[in-house]
Each structure stands twice: as C-alpha cells, then as structure tokens.
C-alpha cells in the first residue's frame, strides 16, 4: 500500500520543542500528532517505572505493534526523544530538534528535572546523541537537524516543514 500522506518523526533531547513543534505542525497540515510518551502512559506500553531516570521503561515492541497500522496509513507526526527502534520504512522525514545548552538547561530546570536527569539530558545534547542515532538509523537524505532555541526558530521550522509536506510525493 502506498501512503498518500507522509510520516514524519520529530525527535531530540527532552526540552528541544518536539511537542510544541509537532502540535503546531499537525494543526497547520491536518496530519495526526502522536506523542509516544502519552501513548505509552495511556495504553500501558511500558515495563514499569525507572526511579533513577524518573520515567517509564518503554516497551519498544509494544509501541511498534500499537502504531503499525496507523503508520501504514500515513499522515502522522510522531513525537519522541528516541528514534532507533522504529522501523526505517515508517518515516519519510526525520527531524532532529537541537537547542543551545543554556536554553535547554533553563527549560529543563523549569520542568523540575532532578540534577542527574538534567545533566544526563544536557550531555545528550552536547554530544548530539539524538542526531547521531538518527543518522545511524535512517538514510542520511531524510534526516533534517533544525535549531530550536526560540519562538522564531519554531516559526521558521514550521514554515520549512509545512513546505516540505506540501511538496512531498509518495514514492512509487
């Protein structure tokens, strides 16, 4: 089955603006926004709680099983801070949001992140862990890093992505 609408993965370190960008893009393009963190909680697609990392232990197989039919249909914006467990065939574009460390630190501090969770996420951004993960998991030509430090950056990114969706053609 050939999809009539594209699937986009929006990934990046927590605090880079994935949900903000994905929600606004879904509204602008009428694509479906899937926040994987919310889906994991709502459908119990996890193996319990990790006290040290202060988050659910996601069951990647359950998540992929849950999303398979929806992804085959197309027209989805998937929002998650990891990307290496999704099937490559699902995505036409993989957006990696990146944020300056000082901006990210302030955002995560406002969220009330513990010191260890804060430093873990800042290190991920410094070492561009999510960008490297995306480049290793998907074809280079569909991985798009975008700066996400400000409202202006988000606005520019929305324009870029909306235009990409407008021009997208299904592969035959």
Residues making up the annotated binding site for ATP are 15, 17-20, 111
Collapsing DSSP to helix, strand or coil, 57 comes out as strand
User: How many residues does this entry show for the chain?
Assistant: 172
Binding residues: 15, 17-20, 111
Contact 2, 83 (CB under 8 A): no
Reported in sequence order, the residue ranges of 3-142 that DSSP labels E, i.e. its strands, are 7-11, 32-35, 46-50, 55-58, 76-79, 93-98
> What Cα–Cα distance (Å) separates residue 129 from each residue in 97, 111, 121, 136, 165?
12, 21, 10, 11, 26
Q: Are strands 55-58 and 93-98 parallel, antiparallel or unpaired?
A: unpaired
């Amino acid at each position: 089955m050939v999809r009539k609408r594209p699937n986009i993965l929006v990934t990046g370190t927590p605090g880079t603006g994935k949900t903000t960008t994905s929600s606004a893009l879904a509204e602008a393009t009428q694509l479906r926004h899937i926040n994987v963190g919310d889906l994991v909680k709502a459908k119990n697609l996890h193996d319990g709680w990790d006290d040290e990392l202060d988050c659910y232990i996601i069951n990647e197989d359950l998540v992929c099983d849950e999303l398979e039919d929806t992804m085959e249909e197309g027209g989805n914006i998937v929002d998650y801070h990891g990307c290496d467990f999704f099937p490559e065939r699902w995505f036409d574009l993989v957006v990696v949001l990146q944020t300056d460390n000082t901006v990210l630190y302030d955002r995560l501090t406002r969220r009330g992140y513990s010191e260890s969770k804060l430093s873990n996420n800042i290190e991920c951004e410094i070492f561009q862990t999510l960008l490297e993960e995306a480049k290793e998991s998907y074809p280079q030509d569909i991985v798009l890093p975008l700066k996400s430090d400000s409202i202006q950056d988000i606005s520019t990114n929305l324009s870029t992505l909306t235009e990409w969706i407008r021009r997208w053609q299904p592969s035959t």
